[in-house]
């Protein structure tokens, strides 16, 4: 999936991440590391659970631990969607 086709998904994930982290979407850019947005590992796991539910996908814990930005999370969602029949 190219960056252009990923942008709507990235935007949607960004809004969801901001909502869960109690941030305004403008406070977290797609490539801002979660740590810079004060999103710790526990909150990141909570975000992953909400993203799984919202997009009807399932992540492996190891995959989630590698995600450090909204864009990476959106890419993970896109990969999981592509694996589904």
User: 44: domain range?
Assistant: 3-83
Number of domains in the chain: 1
Which domain CATH number covers 77?
1.10.1200.10
pLDDT at residue 9, rounded to an integer: 96
The contacts of residue 61 (CB under 8 Å, 6+ apart) are none
On average, the pLDDT of the chain sits at 93
Specify whether the CB–CB gap between 85 and 62 falls below 8 A.
Answer: no
Helix pair angle (70-83, 41-55), 10° resolution? 40
Band (84; pLDDT cuts 50, 70, 90): confident
Q: What predicted TM-score, i.e. pTM, was given to this entire model?
A: 0.91
């Amino acid at each position: 999936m190219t960056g252009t086709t990923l942008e709507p998904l990235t935007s949607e994930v960004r809004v969801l991440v901001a909502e869960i982290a109690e941030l305004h979407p403008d406070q977290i850019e797609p490539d801002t590391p979660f740590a810079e947005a004060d999103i710790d590992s526990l909150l990141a796991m909570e975000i992953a659970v909400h993203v799984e539910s919202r997009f009807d996908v399932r992540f492996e814990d190891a995959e989630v631990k590698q995600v450090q930005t909204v864009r990476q999370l959106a890419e993970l969602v896109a990969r999981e969607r592509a694996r589904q029949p």
